[in-house]
Structures are given as C-alpha cells and as structure tokens.
C-alpha cells in the first residue's frame, strides 16, 4: 500500500502543481505559497486516502508529519527535494497505516 500511496500522492501533487503553475502568476506563490502549498499537499493527501482506501484522519496526520521536513527544505531553498522527501515519508506512513489496520482486523 505504501508504494501505491507514493505513486498516487506524487502524481496528484505533480498534476496540481502543474495546473496551479499554469493558472496563476509567480507572484501568487511568492505571496501565498506559504498557505497554498500546505493546503494543496493536504488536499492531495485526502484524495490519496480515498483512492487507496486508507482512513482520512490517519492519512492527513501522516501528511502533516511528512510535510515538516519539506518546510526545512523550503527554507534552505530546495523546495522540490523537500517535496520528494515528504512524499517518501508519507508513503512509509501510509504503509504503516495499512499494517496497523491489518493487525486490528486480526485482533477482532
């Protein structure tokens, strides 16, 4: 499930980033990137949760935690590297959610 989540999140983030980059001027991202970036990340994570059948709340929690290193990357000036790292960490989180759900099913 982690690989599925990685691919889905990567595609969703990439497509949304491309659409926004084509639709909005660079000044929008300079002024509002601090808000639009994390919001876009969370929207993509919620969609990923639905597509790969994961709990939305747990998936969004993982998205927030995985996004923290991306903030550091933005400050350092390597935004896209931070995004790639965040997607990988997010995939690990989603894989763990899958393991936790399967363990819950075994207990019941």
Task: Please report the pLDDT score of residue 87 as a whole number.
Answer: 96
Structure confidence by residue, pLDDT tens digits, 2-50: 899 999 999 999 999 999 999 999 999 999 999 999 999 999 999 999 9
- Residue 41, CB-side half-sphere exposure with 13 Å CA sphere: 26
- pTM of the shown model: 0.88
The mean pLDDT value for 42-59 works out to 97
- By residue count, the chain amounts to 108
Q: What CA–CA distances, in Å, run from 85 to 2, 33, 56, 63?
A: 14, 19, 21, 12
Pairwise CA distance, residues 76 & 10, whole Å: 22
Decide: 85 and 41 in contact? Cβ < 8 Å. no
What token pair was written down for 100?
């936790």
The residue extents of the domains of the chain are 2-102
């Amino acid at each position: 499930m982690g690989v599925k989540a990685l691919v889905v999140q990567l595609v969703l983030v990439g497509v949304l980033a491309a659409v926004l980059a084509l639709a909005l001027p660079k000044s929008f991202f300079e002024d509002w990137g601090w808000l639009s970036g994390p919001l876009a990340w969370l929207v993509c994570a919620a969609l990923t949760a639905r597509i790969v059948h994961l709990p939305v709340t747990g998936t969004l929690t993982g998205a927030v935690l995985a996004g923290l290193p991306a903030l550091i990357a933005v400050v350092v000036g390597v935004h896209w590297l931070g995004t790639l790292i965040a997607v990988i960490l997010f995939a690990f989180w989603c894989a763990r959610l899958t393991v936790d759900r399967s363990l819950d099913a075994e207990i019941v």
